[in-house]
Each structure stands twice: as C-alpha cells, then as structure tokens.
Structure 1
Amino acid sequence: MPSHADAFADWLFEDLELNSTLFHVGQYCGVWQASTSGHRRASFHVVLHGHCWLHLPAAATRPARSAALAAGDAVFLLTDQPHCLSPDPQPPAAGRESGRSGQMRPLDAPGHEAPDSLGLACGFFEFKSGLDDLVLGLLPDHVIARRDQPTQIGARQIFELIRAEAQLDPHAPSSLIARLTSILFIYTLRALDSNDELSPCFWALLRRPAFVPLIAAIVATPGERWTTASMADFVHMSRARFCKLFAELAGQPPAQFVTLVRMKFAASMLSTGASTPDTAEQVGYQSESAFAQAFKRVTGLQPGAWRRTAGESARGALH
C-alpha cells in the first residue's frame, strides 16, 4: 500500500511538468568550493563519487546546517539560496557561503578516480505550470536524498543511470542526466515522510497521525468550508494549539495551506475547460471575484487567462 507521502507526491505533481537542465558534470580535486546559488533558480547536486559537505547558512525557518554527503546522495535546493559544497566539514566564513573556487575537470574512468576527488552533476529545475509558488509553498527549502534510505531503492537505480550517462563523454555531458534527475526528485519527495532532516513544510504534517486525516480530507474536498475552527475541531484540538502546532510543522498557517490546495484543484479544472464560476464554486468560493483575486495571487494569471493558456498548450501539442 502506498505511503501517505507516495499519495501526496502523486497528487502534488499531477498535471505538473518538471523541467531540469544540466549545468555541469565533472570532478573536483584538492581545495575547492562549488555552488549554484545566484541564478534565481531551484537547483540540484548529485554526488557521483567521493565525499563532501553541504553548507547552508541560517534561514528564517531553520538554523545553519552542515551535512556530510557521499556517493549516491543528492541535494535539491527548492529556492535560490546561499549554499556551497566543499571538502571541508567547517562552513566558510559569513558572506562567503556561495563562493566558488577550484576547477572542475572531466570525470576519471570508473574505478580510477583520485582518492581525494569528488564527482558531481549539477543543474537547475523548474515547474512549467505557473504553479511554482504553490508547489514550493508545500515543500521544504531543501531536501537531501540519502542513497542508504530504505525507501530509496528505486532512486538508487536512477542514480546508477545518471552515473553511467555522466561517464559516456566527458566533453559532451548527456542531456538525459537532467531528465533522470527529475525522476530522482520525485523519488526523493516520496521518501520525505521518513526523512529525519526535514525542515518545516507540508510534509512534516504527515508524520503526525492526528493531522493525516485532516490533510486527506482537505485534498479530497477543497470546496468544504475549512475554517480554522472547523479544522481544529476535526483534529480534536483547541484553536490556539492547532494553529501553533500546524504552523510549527508546516511553516505556514492552516488557512494558507487550504488556499494552496484549492488553487491547485482550480488550476486543474480550468485547464480542462471548466468555467470560472463553476471552478470557484467547486473550491469553496461564493464570490467569483474573490476567487479570481486569490487565483491570480497564487498563479500570476486570471482564471480566464489560465484556461486560454492551457488550451493553447494542448492544441500546440497536437501539431
């Protein structure tokens, strides 16, 4: 039976297209520091061989962090944030967290890697749906996929394919690496409910049995009148305790989560040609104008514009 994280990962990525691009692939030796920050895009690092450290300075929802990485581990940074990878377990000085030093060179042949070298594939990804803010609002700011996690058996197979592709031609990295990394990311999300390193986000709620039925109910019936009071009653908590615990776990208030779920449901309806009034009613809005304002705030488009864009994309795919 799929885990709660499996089911919610499938729901979250339904109708979404994840697009990854490869930045570079190769290896570092000696003293070096690598980073993909500063490009205003979400990014990833996949460790092909060797060991290194990920350094993240403190952020609003978490303290500074340094994490050891080994071959088969992957890091997904869901926002453009200061960070670096280096062979040093000590983080760089303040203000230098995103610095780059050393030179990446082509990968050595398998089995012939230098003892102090690190093989790395790095790139960027985005959600090609206009729902970036919605998706990112439900996820932590970074995720580390560990090769040795029991839930990552499928991910280990994807990693082996990435490593094989990386070794094909050191001068012309395979574009397939980016596509394989997109698949690896989905496996990573499915392992979030067992990830002890998870920062506050939607997935943290799935670890609390009291919240799982509520989350399932909101996703199944977004048009219900989900007020703070009704949600607190659903989980048999006082309103104050419910709001405090929800925000601590999810990193956002419950009302914001309900809005995100509703807008995702609405986007799916509009993409299939549903009218704005029907969509508004299905996601719990009595006022069409209030729905349109909320939808634009999340997606950047008015409902009608979203519907037209989806229709144009569908017609273009047929030609």
Structure 2
Amino acid sequence: MPNTMKAAVIHQAGGPEVLKLETRPMPTPKKGQVLIQVKAFGLNRSELFTRKGLSLGVPFPRVLGIEAVGIVAAAPGGTFASGDIVATAMGGMGRQFDGGYAEYVCVPAIQVQRLKTALPWETLGAMPEMLQTAWGSLFNALQLKARDRLLIRGGTTSVGLAAAAIAKKHGAFVLATTRNPARERLLRENGADQVLIDNGEIADQVREICPNGVNKVLELVGTTTLKDSLRTARPHGVVCMTGMVGDRWWFDQFSPMDAIPTAVSLTTYAGGSEDFMRTPLQSLADQVAAGDLCINIGRVFKLDEIVEAHRTMETNQAGGKIVVLP
C-alpha cells in the first residue's frame, strides 16, 4: 500500500478553481474505521455549497466529498475484509473529516455498506447519495403509497430521475417538471406519467391534471419554487423539500399562514449516515443490474478534472449524475 495519495483539496472558499489536486499522506484507519480505495464518487450540490463557504462549521483545508464507492484496503475492526466492494455516504464526510475526493478515504465502519455486484464503477459511483436521497424522501419523509399522485419538482435532476423510476415501480402516478421541453422523453423513459414544462408557476397545470391536487410533492428546486409547489397539494397532502438546485437557501419573506395551504403538511429530508444505512442499496443495485432501475449518468470525469466537473455541476450542464473516477 502506498504512503501517499492524490486528493482534491480546498484551502479557502471560492469558485471551482479553489479545488487543488495535491499529494497527501495516506490515512491510517483505527479500530472501527474502514480505509477504502476510492474507485468512484458522485458530485453533489451540497459540496458546491461547502466549496462556496456556505456550509457553516466546515474547517479548511478540507477534502470534499460526501460519498464514495470502492474496495476495502484495510479494516482493523474486522467488520469488513480487504477487497470487499463497499459504498459510504454522509456521517460528516467532506465536512467534519476528509471525504471522497481522493484516491483513498477513511470512514467509520458504521456508515459503510458491503455490496455484491458486477456493476461498473461509474454506475456504482452514481448511486449512494442519489439513491438514499430519492429513497428516503419518498418512503421516509413522504411515506409514499401505491396509487399516490406524486409531483416531482425538478424532475431532470439526478435525484428526480431516480425518484420517478422508484415511485413508478412502487405504483404511484408520477408528474415531473422540467424547464426544457426537450427533456420530456428523458422524464417519460424514467417513469413520469405526465411532464409539466416549468415556467416558475405550475400549480394551475397540476390542477388541470389533478383537479383536487396531488397527494405528495418532492421539491428538488428549493425555496425559489416551494411556495408554488405547496399550492399543488391537496388537503392532507405532504410536500417534502429535499433539493436546492435553485441555489437559494432562504426566503426573503415567508409567511407560513399565507404560504402553506390549510391541512397541507410541509417537511424536509436531509439524510444522514443512518438514513444511508437504511437504504436498501443492495436491492437497488440488483434492480439496476437487471435493467429494472435506470441510473442516469450525465458526465464522467477523472480526479484531475475536478475543477471542470464542478463547473459542469454549477451550470447544470450534465443532464444526469456527475461521476468522478480517481
């Protein structure tokens, strides 16, 4: 095993160019930790926020990356064997301790799932955070049931596409939004029954299809569209804000009595390491391998292309999950 590794490090907040490829000492795992040789990792907008300095309490320098997949290099506690294929996510990765933007990452064993699969690394790299977010939002926060009418606001995001496919397989009627009419086919191929072209206000379009409103709403755009999404829900419906691709964390003004319709519930889903461990990743990987669940990969980069990868994420040009292969 080498004594050093390559990692993408940030020393100060800023644009994509603050990500610097450096040689760092190899992490040494302690009992209860797992050293993973990283074979792939996905990019996430939360890492973009951290890079910009918007994630409070994250010290620099830091190796970003809230997820990774790879092979166990060492596991002193004996929970895993060298060579095991594993996935990890959340639990402080890339925030409280160095994350997956590296050739190796050291994480607590309690946030690692072992996988038995022959899927290619770029596919596995797209899965951990994306699928735990989609799964957790649907079944933990929204408590999705068969025959629910589900609206996915931000349907062409990687989480939105995964959520549509999972929800459709579960028996829900899926409405999904996009700002680009050319993406309608993509949405329908991933489980959307109805596609809505989003001009910022879609409540009236939803009511034309579902006059009483929808049961469940997965909000992936964020505060810029949340008030309008709340208007699409029927009484006793639930709206879950999970994503913030609109890049705004706060409302300038928010009056709950005006914004939240009577008897409509508003919740959120963030997803920690416990949520990741509850995600049936092996079952989902088996579905992907069988062709029952599509993983949409937008772009694949190498570690030394991390600056370009972040620019692609920030400008929403990928058309699917961005994956990096160290």
Structure 1 length normalisation: TM-score?
0.28
Bigger Rg, structure 1 or 2: 1
The structure in which a higher percent of residues are strand is 2
TM-score (norm 2): 0.28
Please identify which structure carries the higher helix content.
Answer: 1
